Structure 1
């Protein structure tokens, strides 16, 4: 089995190392070859993410989904169908697509490097590379609160760290995982919060 993991690995690494992207709206003067009147002026909580997805997407179908800054269940289902079809046409069958964005495929005897290249191409062609992250983020975190803030709040709420512990302290401690745990199960709580910001022990 070969696992589709590109996006989820990147997001997990950002949490563990404490990297946080600034969510600021990009300048309308920047962008690719289709910048200008055709590009929507994104204004919502995920404006920066929509802008990036729009600039990097190469298919009209993906741009059509992004245009209104809203991804419906029907649109997401269509993206998954496109992903499955694309993979199948390249000799890879999609077995399981998980709610966290990871997925499992059967690539037979195909070389792993080739399989990963084809999977990456299908993720972009179908829009899964962009729309999947936005769909999950808007569902679980509609206000687009930084992941590091949510993780810090979860650790504090569950007593893993002092009540005065701040996001800035988390960013300092995360690279070496040197958290000032106040609970003997502090690291377990950290792992649980990393998996689900709403975790309650």
Structure 2
């Protein structure tokens, strides 16, 4: 779930984290089939559901994200199993406009697809989080942004767990005996040696760039 970390001052800051949506249910978009449909297109589109027949290394994730797409435009961004920088920027601007239109400030996404935002002190964290969640959904952020960074980090969807764990250990946020099993089994907040926000940010960094070095 998204988390909010308010800070004292005239403007409070909400911190949001985006994670994989692998456990979310798929909602099929049913379309009518016609006898005149070009058979050659059946390998591209699932005619029963209207969802493209994703088959690449990130196919399952694309199916999940396609089901989250709020508009045909966002669906089209996903249909070719690629997300371009232009498409990512288009979604970012939609999100920024939604946030600004609701008195929230947003600058950019981090390397893992997470983001922070500011909101008026009089609004309160709960209301601000609800607005940010709504903007994430309606602008296509939930369908596009985190997957965009995943594709950049690992185009072939290679299991990089060992590299990620090494990066997390280098960041100094977990004990040196932190293992791949720990990474896959426990929320990072249960084993972290630092505060929750730093731990989550470090993991996002390492998942996006396992060969890098996180500096908190």
Structure 1 residue 130: deviation in Å?
2.1
Asked if structure 2 preserves the Cα contact closer than 8 Å seen for 1:149 and 1:167, the reply is yes
Name which of 40, 50, 55 aligns with 2:52.
40
**Residue deviations 1:137-180 (CA, integer Å, cap 9, x gap):** 111111112352432465899xx979xx98458657988759xx
Asked if structure 2 preserves the Cα contact closer than 8 Å seen for 1:94 and 1:106, the reply is yes
Structure 1 residue 197: deviation in Å?
1.0
Answer yes or no: is 1:63 the counterpart of 2:58. no
Residue 54 of structure 1 corresponds to which residue in structure 2?
66
Structure 2: 5+ residue runs without aligned partners? 1-11, 31-47, 193-201
Q: Distance in 1 between matches of 2:150 and 2:110?
A: 15
Query: Quick one: higher RCO (CA 8 Å, sep 6+), 1 or 2?
Result: 1
Asked if structure 1 preserves the Cα contact closer than 8 Å seen for 2:28 and 2:49, the reply is no
* TM-score, normalised by the number of residues in structure 2: 0.62
Structure 1 residue 128: deviation in Å?
1.2
Answer yes or no: is 1:131 the counterpart of 2:144. yes
Q: Distance in 2 between matches of 1:33 and 1:93?
A: 34
Asked if structure 1 preserves the Cα contact closer than 8 Å seen for 2:100 and 2:106, the reply is yes
Name which of 134, 149, 154 aligns with 1:121.
134
Q: Distance in 1 between matches of 2:102 and 2:187?
A: 40
| More displaced stretch, 41-50 vs 139-148 | 139-148
Q: Distance in 2 between matches of 1:81 and 1:170?
A: 33
Q: Give RMSD over aligned pairs.
A: 3.7
Residue 105 of structure 1 corresponds to which residue in structure 2?
117
Q: In the superposition, relative to structure 1, how do residues 151 and 121 fare at CA in structure 2: closer, same or farther (>3 Å)?
A: same
Query: As a proportion of its length, which structure holds more helix?
Result: 1
Structure 1 residue 68: deviation in Å?
1.0
Residue 199 of structure 1 corresponds to which residue in structure 2?
212
**Residue deviations 1:16-38 (CA, integer Å, cap 9, x gap):** xxxxx79xxxxxxx942414252
The 5-angstrom pairing of residues 119-198 of structure 1 reads 119-152=132-165, 167-168=180-181, 171=184, 177=191, 196-198=209-211
* TM-score, normalised by the number of residues in structure 1: 0.66
Q: Distance in 2 between matches of 1:143 and 1:161?
A: 29
* Aligned length, in residue pairs: 169
Structure 1 residue 75: deviation in Å?
0.6
Q: In the superposition, relative to structure 1, how do residues 147 and 112 fare at CA in structure 2: closer, same or farther (>3 Å)?
A: farther
